[in-house]
Amino acid sequence: MTDPFNIQAWQGAFSGAVAASAALLGLFFVGFSVRLREIERNPLLGARAAVNLQALALGLSSAVCGLVPQSLVWFAWEILGLLVVYNGVGLLTVWKVRLRLRRRDWFGIALIPISSIPGLACGISLLLKSGPGLYLLAVVFVFGFLNLSYNAWGIVWSSEAGAPHADVREVLQRHRR
C-alpha cells in the first residue's frame, strides 16, 4: 500500500486529479455557455453552476498543491485553507439564492460542500500524522467528481429550463450568418 503520509508517493494520483479537474472544467464551461441564458434566469441552475465552478477550482488547486514539492505540514495547511475558503464561498453562494430555491433543490447543491468533510479530516490527519492521511483526499476526489457530474448533468439537461439543443441551434444559426 502507498504510504498515506508521503506526498511524493501520490504524485500519479495528483497528476490524474489535475488532468480530470482541468478536463471537467473545460467541459463544464462548454455546457455552461450552451445554457447561459437559462442559468442567468433560473436560481437553481445558477447556484448549481456556481457551486460546480467552485468545486472544480478546489479540485484543481488542491491537486496542483499536491504536485508542488513541499512538506507534509504545509500541504495539510493548504488543503485546510482551500477547504475553508471553498466552503465559505459555497455557503455564501447558496445563502444568496436560498429564498428562491425549493427545499428539494437544496440536496444536489448541498452535497458538494458535504463531500469536502473528508478533506477536512484529511488535513487534520496529515497534521497529526496519524489515521488515513491522503486516502481521505482520494475519497474527496471520487465523491466530488461524482457529485460534480450529477450537478453538471442537471445544468445541461434541466427539464425546468428547456432542452439545450434549442440554444445550440440558435447559436449555429447566428454563426452561419
Which tens digit of pLDDT belongs to each residue from 100-136?
766 666 666 666 667 778 889 999 999 999 999 999 9
Task: Write down the H helix ranges in 98-133.
Answer: 106-114, 117-128
Average pLDDT taken over every residue of the chain: 81
- Nearest to 39, CA basis, from 170, 152, 146, 175: 152
Q: Where are the domains of the chain?
A: 7-176
Prediction pTM value: 0.77
Which tens digit of pLDDT belongs to each residue from 139-175?
888 887 887 777 777 777 765 544 444 445 555 566 6
Mean pLDDT check: name the lowest of 28-32, 82-86, 111-115.
Answer: 111-115
